[in-house]
Amino acid sequence: MTNHWIDIKNSDAILIMGSNAAEHHPIAFKWIMKAKERGAALMHVDPKFSRTSARCDFHVPLRSGTDIAFLGGMIRYIFETDSWFKEYVVNYTNASFIVSKSFGFSDGLFTGYDPETRRYDKTSWRFERNSSGAPLRDDTLQHPRCVLNVIRKHFERYTLDSVSATTGVSKADLVRVYDIFCATGKPDKAGTMLYALGWTQHTVGVQNIRSAAIIQLLLGNIGVSGGGINALRGEPNVQGSTDHALLYDSIPGYHKAPVASWQTLADYNKANTPVSHVKGSVNWWQNRPKYVTSLLKAWYGDSATPENDFCYGLLPKLADGEDYSYMFIMDRVFQGKMRGGFIMGVNPMNSFPNTHKMRKALDNLDWLVVTEIHNSETSDNWRRPGADPAKIKTEVFLLPSAHRIEKEGTISNSGRWLQWFDKAVEPEGEARNFGNFWVPFINLMRKMYEEEGGACPEQLLKMRWYEKFDASDIAKRINGQFEADCEVNGKKYRKGQQVPMFTALKADGSTSSLNWLYAGSWTEEEGCKAKRRDPSQTPMQAKIGLFPNWSWCWPQNRRILYNRASVDLNGRPWDPSRAIIEWKDGKWVGDVPDGAQPPMAQSGVKPFIMTTDGTGLLFGTAPADGPLPEHYEPAETPIKEHPFSSQLSSPCYKYHKSAYDKMAEPADPAFPYVLTTYSLTEHWCGGGGTRAVPNLLEAEPQLYVEMSHELAKEKGIANGDGVIVESPRGAVEAIAMVTIRIRPFEVMGRTVHLIGMPFAYGWTTPGCGDSTNRLTIGACDPNTTIPELKACCVNIRKANKLTEIA
Amino acid sequence: MAVTRRKFLKLAGAGALCLTLSQLGFDMTEAKAYVAALKIEGAKEVHSVCPFCAVCCQIIAHVKDGRLVSTEGDPDFPVNQGTLCAKGAALFTMYTGKHRLTKPMYRAPYSSSWVEKDWDWTFRQIARRMKSARDKDFIAKDAKGRTVNRLESVFSMGTSHASNEECAVIHQALKGLGVIHQDHQART
């Protein structure tokens, strides 16, 4: 989230899209309702009417997978109605930058596309630059190739007619949403967009969010209270686990994982440390070498010296451009290329798409370690329905895991608040927390390598490792410590003391930190700030629900990111009634500002300190699939063509080929209906934990499929009937729930039906049904490799008898 | 001392109770207070956080004689203000249910059952397999002769259920083993 849960109450217009917030974040929804009490407009754009729709002013049904068409239409509308916030856009975004002559877009493809590799060569996606390297700009925004005009032209095709024909949303509904949201393009109005997996789980997931970013920058809604783009993160510590990079492609603190072509730390720093030629750009990532060296120092301790590149050479290096994410892991397991694995606190045999392939794949492992609270469809895969254990070789070690209340430490909520939790009771039976497995496990591995030798023992032995897992000790190391006696701003620190904040981190080995973002969270001066329970606020902070003294948040306790964009060039809030920061008597008051320098008119400092050129990126060259969003159909689509180009689906999405990776043809008559999937308030994601709780299972006992009355009539299905839903990848039994919550769509002149199913059920809970994801598809976003769990094509029929559902 | 939201609620609650009882015409104050006190009287209050979504509602766990006796929303936390959803409200059942795994279990190749094992045996068995895979498959240099120090044949998945401190330790552990196939729920 750019903002935080409570801040949502400050909004004038809330567009909930790709999220069923009332169902999945019920407690946070109270802040959305607070906004409504203040007179905010609440809009829900989603394939089905849900608990969220019921709380909103109105619901707009949208065919799953057409969000970019919907949002692209809004971008066009912003220009058509001249709703964009000019002072903000000119000063704070790259709207005025001149795009290179070599850049182009034609019939759904940007310049540089290679159909063989399904990748773009991005060299033409750049700005014209002067001799010193600064981008050329036209602040009058007249230049035909300035970003604003390139965007205006790109979205000219997104007319109400085309958008309506593609999305299935009526023109009246489009205009209704556009009018309300575009009204926030004024200095004293704020609109927010709330999204979740309904935006990310598509082959165009990143571009869905890029569309939101373009709209929010054009309307001046980024950095302001009640504004922002807010990912309503679902998993309990998914913010923290991302910050600490339980991901192949990054290392803690949002640095890229080293690849083979970066052989030395100097290579790494050169490739990853941006240089800005724009006056006033803070270009914060120029500090990256300090954070990376401090991370290496935290990992390798005294073994890490300037002479040995701080042990950078010992880090595993990825093959350049290779994908090691879970869909690729599982494909390699399927191909028999893996010997073993660790699966902790996740249930892929229920939650990953194309589950039949996943379940078959796991049989190929020699050994598997599963760390869980309960037996799950993953731990017990060897005895799944239809499998013969006598033919499955995999050794499985199932380790009992401690629950939250049985351990201490910190988590980071969706608004980046670092919250400490104490241990209430000892772990049940012999259960252990994850740290209490990995620390002794690595100690044992180190002992074996010391005694026996083996492959590259120094990779393990040169690490600074821990005698036992102690959450406080690790939390302090995450903050960072001095590795030598140092002086910061005139204050002396001894070796081993806590660094006061990330500006104290150095690239010379005198500091260590397991994650620079968290530097400042546990200091000598104030101790563990995650434990703070002080609700005090200034009147200015109270007005917008800012609690700077309750816990702590990264970075630097800044509660609203990009907050320097909430003020004008002189540091005056665009809207004084919901000021986050203000330049008063020569200093900033309110939230911790994005940099302490005086306002832009005095200092020239631009508000977007994390981008190289200091501006919000209307035109962004980072995504693999284009510098601007473009509508493409899902990998499986009920239509053969759309009005925007002849490029039907994303030219870049990733997929695998195997007998288990079947896909329906576009507009395949065998699979005519769109399936979307979701979870439930009463069950946690795949349901592994909550199905074991009787009161929750009683509330939501079995797998169902929601469908319209029209489709039910067509198929001769009555409410409560047992049905079979089929995709090219599998068949699933469910109970029919015939409802007005789902309505047929008018798409490209014909009727398209959509059905919806939760995915919380699995065979280890008898009689409740089995994985919905046996239907879903392994087509993935080219940037994130997140699979398209929200849209695939299926058929449905009445079942003669049910075997999965009691 | 400032009146916190929680203290205010306690006071307001007491007021509401008196009103109701006087309306009923019975004085049940003592009986009600006795019943309410049974569960958490003398219990230690421990501050924790709900283990589900990333709203991270704060909770209070009441512990008596080392046993969990109650969980409830923390009224002082500015985000949830004491409230919890259906899952959060079911926490107590989740912790105290009989379905929990309490011992390391082992399923041998081609076996049709689980067998209980102790941690010491389990650690040694896993470590032996990990070392064997690492020693056989470790790639010190790639085809171009560049140092890559990676292991491709073992993967790790999970988890956003881990604390920040556990995440930091898991990431470092995998760097020490050379494991590059690493992922978790954030990619959803």
Contact status of B26 with chain A (Cβ, < 8 Å): no
Q: Pairing between strand A730-738 and A704-707?
A: parallel
Q: Is the pLDDT of residue B36 over 80?
A: no
Chain-centre distance for alpha carbon A362 = 27
Q: Is the pLDDT of residue B29 over 80?
A: no
Residues A287-299 have pLDDT tens digits of 999 999 999 999 9
Q: Which residues contact A435 (CB under 8 A, 6 or more apart)?
A: A409, A469, A471, A474, B163, B165, B166, B169
Cβ distance A234 to B54 less than 8 Å, yes or no, reads yes
Q: Please tell me the distance in Å from B16's CA to the nearest CA on chain A.
A: 24
Residues A442-479 have pLDDT tens digits of 999 999 999 999 999 999 999 999 999 999 999 999 99
Q: Please tell me the distance in Å from B18's CA to the nearest CA on chain A.
A: 29
Cβ distance B182 to A260 less than 8 Å, yes or no, reads no
- The alpha-helical segments, DSSP class H, found in A674-759 are 694-699, 709-715
Cβ distance B100 to A374 less than 8 Å, yes or no, reads yes
Q: Identify the closest residue of chain A to B118 by CA–CA distance.
A: A430
Q: Pairing between strand B115-116 and B105-107?
A: antiparallel
Contact status of B102 with chain A (Cβ, < 8 Å): yes
Q: Please tell me the distance in Å from B24's CA to the nearest CA on chain A.
A: 32
Residues A255-306 have pLDDT tens digits of 999 999 999 999 999 999 999 999 999 999 999 999 999 999 999 999 999 9
Q: Which residues of B touch A201 (CB under 8 A)?
A: 188
Residues A750-798 have pLDDT tens digits of 999 999 999 999 999 999 999 999 999 999 999 999 999 999 999 999 9
Q: Is the pLDDT of residue B8 over 80?
A: no
Query: What integer pLDDT is reported at residue B97 of this predicted model?
Result: 80
Q: Identify the closest residue of chain A to B140 by CA–CA distance.
A: A456
Q: Is the pLDDT of residue A556 over 80?
A: yes
The 3-class secondary structure across A393-422, one letter per residue, is: CCEEEEEEECCHHHCCEEEECCCCEEEEEC
Q: What integer is the mean pLDDT of A684-691?
A: 89
Query: What integer pLDDT is reported at residue B17 of this predicted model?
Result: 44
Q: Is the pLDDT of residue B30 over 90?
A: no
Reported as a pLDDT band with limits 50, 70 and 90, residue B18 is very low
Q: What are phi and psi of A502, to 5 degrees?
A: -70, -20
Q: What integer is the mean pLDDT of A715-732?
A: 98
Cβ distance A397 to B104 less than 8 Å, yes or no, reads yes
Q: Which residues of A touch B127 (CB under 8 A)?
A: 441, 444-445, 448
Q: What integer is the mean pLDDT of A45-58?
A: 97
Contact status of A304 with chain B (Cβ, < 8 Å): no
Q: Is the pLDDT of residue B19 over 60?
A: no
3-state secondary structure of A489: coil
Q: Identify the closest residue of chain B to A352 by CA–CA distance.
A: B188
Q: Is the pLDDT of residue A120 over 60?
A: yes
Q: Is the pLDDT of residue B20 over 50?
A: no
Q: Which residues of B touch A392 (CB under 8 A)?
A: 109-110
Cβ distance A235 to B5 less than 8 Å, yes or no, reads no
- Rounded alpha-carbon distances, angstroms, from residue A591 to A6, A231, A301, A366, A560: 14, 21, 35, 53, 8
Q: Identify the closest residue of chain B to A687 by CA–CA distance.
A: B87
Contact status of B43 with chain A (Cβ, < 8 Å): no
Contact status of A32 with chain B (Cβ, < 8 Å): no
Q: Please tell me the distance in Å from B104's CA to the nearest CA on chain A.
A: 5
Q: Please tell me the distance in Å from B22's CA to the nearest CA on chain A.
A: 33
Residues A620-677 have pLDDT tens digits of 999 999 999 999 999 999 999 999 999 999 999 999 999 999 999 999 999 999 999 9
The neighbouring-strand residues paired with A706 are: A737, A756
Q: Identify the closest residue of chain A to B107 by CA–CA distance.
A: A396
At residue A357, what is the residue type? K
Chain-centre distance for alpha carbon A137 = 32
Contact status of A337 with chain B (Cβ, < 8 Å): yes
Q: Output the six-digit token pair for A600.
A: 């832009």
- What residue ranges in A115-247 does DSSP mark as E strands? 119-120, 191-195, 229-231
Cβ distance B101 to A407 less than 8 Å, yes or no, reads no
Reported as a pLDDT band with limits 50, 70 and 90, residue B16 is very low
Across the interface, of B71, B168, B179, the residue whose CB is closest to A478 is: B168
Q: Identify the closest residue of chain B to A436 by CA–CA distance.
A: B166
Q: What integer is the mean pLDDT of B105-111?
A: 98
Go through chain B and tell me how many residues it has: 188
Across the interface, of A237, A257, A366, the residue whose CB is closest to B160 is: A237
Q: Which residues contact A3 (CB under 8 A, 6 or more apart)?
A: A192, A225, A226, A227, A228, A230, A415, A559, A560, A561
CA atoms within 13 A on the CB side of A724: 12
Contact status of A30 with chain B (Cβ, < 8 Å): yes
Instruction: Identify the residue among A300, A397, A412 best suited for mutation to test binding to B, counting B beta carbons within 10 A and taking the highest.
Output: A397
Q: Which residues of B touch A304 (CB under 8 A)?
A: none
Query: What integer pLDDT is reported at residue B21 of this predicted model?
Result: 44
Could you tell me which of A521, A742, A315 has the C-alpha nearest to residue B176? Answer: A315
- What residue ranges in A170-325 does DSSP mark as E strands? 191-195, 229-231, 250-251, 255-256
* Separation of alpha carbons A367 and A56, rounded Å: 49
Contact status of A8 with chain B (Cβ, < 8 Å): no
pTM for the whole structure: 0.95
Residues A67-113 have pLDDT tens digits of 999 999 999 999 999 999 999 999 999 999 999 999 999 999 999 99
Q: What integer is the mean pLDDT of A204-222?
A: 98
Go through chain A and tell me how many residues it has: 806
Chain A segment 383-412 residues within 8 A of B by beta carbon are 383, 389-401, 403-407, 409-412
- What residue ranges in chain B does DSSP mark as E strands? 44-49, 58-64, 67-73, 105-107, 115-116, 139-141, 147-157, 179-183
* Separation of alpha carbons A68 and A50, rounded Å: 22
Query: What integer pLDDT is reported at residue B5 of this predicted model?
Result: 54
Any idea which residue has 């230690």 for tokens? Answer: B44
Residues B41-99 have pLDDT tens digits of 899 999 999 999 999 999 999 999 999 999 999 999 999 999 999 999 999 988 888 88
Cβ distance B169 to A545 less than 8 Å, yes or no, reads no
